[in-house]
Amino acid sequence: MKVPGSRMPGLRVRKVEDLPGVTAVARIDRRTKRLTKRLQPGEIAIIDHVDVDRVSAEALVACGVAAVVNVAAGISGRYPNLGPQILLEAGVPFVDNATPELFERIKDGDVVRVHEGVVHLDDEVVGKGEEQTTEAVEAAMAEARAGLAVQIEAFAVNTMEYVRGEGKLLIDGVGVPEIRTPMEGRHVLIVVRGYHYKEDIATLRPYIREYRPVLIGVDGGADALLEAGYLPDVIVGDFDSVSTKALSCGAELVVHAYRDGRAPGLERVHQLGREAVIFPATGTSEDIAMLLADDKGAELIVAVGTHGTLEEFLDKGRSGMASTFLTRLRIGSKLIDAKGVSRLYRSRISTPQLLLLVITALITMGVALFISPIGQTWLNGLQDAWNAFIFWLVGLFS
């Protein structure tokens, strides 16, 4: 494949038979999450992502990426991450362990060609990597599963460190800020732009309509709520992956800060002329959203797109895994995954019950009209009107 004017940004893939591989505009960023915000269908993503996780891979596929070139190890062997497998199943060529100098030699918007693990810019080879196959990924996943015990041990050590640092927050709620959004005795729905969040929000529509829970968006989860037609009540996070539209929608803002008080997201809030509450904690943003809802007296916390399985915890890295694991222990039975709600929840008034209620009401009204004096008057009036209509109709043909 070949693209005329190969260094002009904005061009898309054009098929030319004499050049094999994938030729397209390259989008380059060391943070995959940031890259997917501007990646367009048919473009090539150049990333620096050790252990490509499931959420990142699904986001790349959803963007319509033509190929992915990773300058890091897509499967390091630390744990069996699902990202590379998802890319290959979607038919996306995936080049791993590519030349790190690609970030210096390629500019965002350059048109490049990727073929058999080799990256070409114009007529020059600028980098090489390992083009992954299904067999290679399956073998790497098998080796990673064999090393899970080591990761569990490291997780246990990290968990103790987290308890020592955040024990007062986890046990006594020390450090949870005051907010104006009331949650006492209410259901709270926390949305993270993570695993199957769109499907989960769709299945929860009857639940949201009936219970009207407090809606908390964690960073990009706020945009997920807006896309689904809901207005978030609270937005929690460091605000590196949430849109300006979401931050300006009127929701109460809670900035996730470091333990030393630094809050990088606060500057962006002030630039928009908004005020925010600061929540210093070493956990993840989804963790502090749960702790906030629990501390403010939520009756039930429903989580959308959050982490639940062992592989999902490992996708976060050991530090994030420890905070999420302990937060879930802290909240206990009050926390339920969205999938569980969709399976267990049924509207308190079913469709057959509603139809029966309507039919019963109509019968009751009919009986009341038939036996009451006023009803008899109305019935007589209706009968006279009907007779007059028949008389008029017969007169048209006589």
- CATH number at 32 reads 3.20.19.10
Same domain, 118 and 185: no
Take residue 165 and report the two structure tokens written for it: 């640092």
Helical segments of 173-254, H only: 197-203, 205-211, 221-227, 244-247
Q: How far apart are CA 262 and CA 57, in angstroms?
A: 31
For residue 1, tell me if it sits in a domain.
no
Cβ neighbourhood burial of 239 (10 Å; 0-12, 13-18, 19+): buried
Please say if the pLDDT value at position 167 is more than 70.
Answer: no
Same domain, 31 and 75: yes
**Domain's final residue, options 305, 328, 344:** 344
Say what the pTM is: 0.62
For residue 12, tell me if it sits in a domain.
no
For residue 6, tell me if it sits in a domain.
no
Cβ neighbourhood burial of 164 (10 Å; 0-12, 13-18, 19+): exposed
Q: For residue range 202-235, list pLDDT tens digits in order.
A: 989 999 999 999 999 999 999 999 999 999 999 9
Same domain, 136 and 181: no
Range of the domain at 221: 147-344
Same domain, 296 and 372: no
For residue 8, tell me if it sits in a domain.
no
End-to-end CA distance of the chain: 82
Helix (H, G, I), strand (E, B) or coil at 101: coil
What is the pLDDT, as a whole number, of residue 355? 72
Name the domain count of the chain: 3
Same domain, 311 and 324: yes
For residue 187, tell me if it sits in a domain.
yes
Better-predicted residue by pLDDT, 244 or 9 = 244
Same domain, 157 and 268: yes
Take residue 154 and report the two structure tokens written for it: 């490291």
Same domain, 226 and 318: yes
Same domain, 290 and 364: no
What is the pLDDT, as a whole number, of residue 344? 56
**Domain's final residue, options 113, 144, 175:** 144
Please say if the pLDDT value at position 383 is more than 80.
Answer: no
Same domain, 167 and 70: no
